[in-house]
Amino acid sequence: MLINDIQEGEYGLEGVMQWDLFDEEIEVSIDEDTDIAYAEKCAEALNNLPEETVREIWEAAKRYCLFFIDLCGEEWDEWNEMTIKVTKETPAEEIKSQIYPATLIVDTPEGEGIGYHLECNCSWEAEHGLEITILDNKLLYLGAYEGCGAWDNFDPNRVWNFANDIDRGI
């Protein structure tokens, strides 16, 4: 099993798993109406993300970071805690060092496929963090944590969804 130490929690089952991409143990939160077999499929999918999806995550996270830095303006330098300087020229994969995964969230599936979202912290937006939502290895949402499940409606023009590669003027 990929998910270990499974026990009853306040909203369903809880456990832990190793996320190989970050070589870190993260919490797993399984909705009360979801079975462990489905949660295991989500954990397996997470640990077997295609390189293309991983690249999309880094690119979207970089867009989120640059947008947030631009949004903060001059105040950014006062409370910036990043350990790297992110510019348009920064290779996207370097943003990985500024993301701190916390929880794999497995909601009750509302359709076919393997869908889940992740709650992460990031060094550029300590208050709202970072959320990554994936359905069948497709990045659907990356932005501030909003509890976006894999079967939510994702507007392709929504500026705060950095999985959308739209012009934000940054």
The 3 state secondary structure assigned to 2-49 is CCEEEEECCCEEEEEEEECCCCEEEEEEEECCCCHHHHHHHHHHHHCC
Mean pLDDT of 148-163: 90
* Residue 81, pLDDT score: 81
Structural contact between residues 16 and 30, judged by C-beta atoms closer than 8 angstroms: no
* Residue 76, pLDDT score: 77
Tens-digit pLDDT profile for residues 23-45:
999 999 999 999 999 999 999 99
Mean pLDDT of 5-33: 96
* Banded model confidence at residue 11, pLDDT cuts 50, 70, 90: confident
Is the pLDDT at 56 greater than 70? The verdict is yes
Q: Is 79 exposed, middle or buried (0-12, 13-18, 19+ CB in 10 A)?
A: exposed
Token output for 113:
């496929």
Tens-digit pLDDT profile for residues 72-123:
888 877 778 889 999 999 999 999 999 999 999 999 999 899 999 999 999 9
Tens-digit pLDDT profile for residues 126-143:
899 999 999 999 999 999
* Residue 75, pLDDT score: 82
Taking the model in full, what pTM does it have? 0.94
* Residue 168, pLDDT score: 65
* Residue 108, pLDDT score: 94
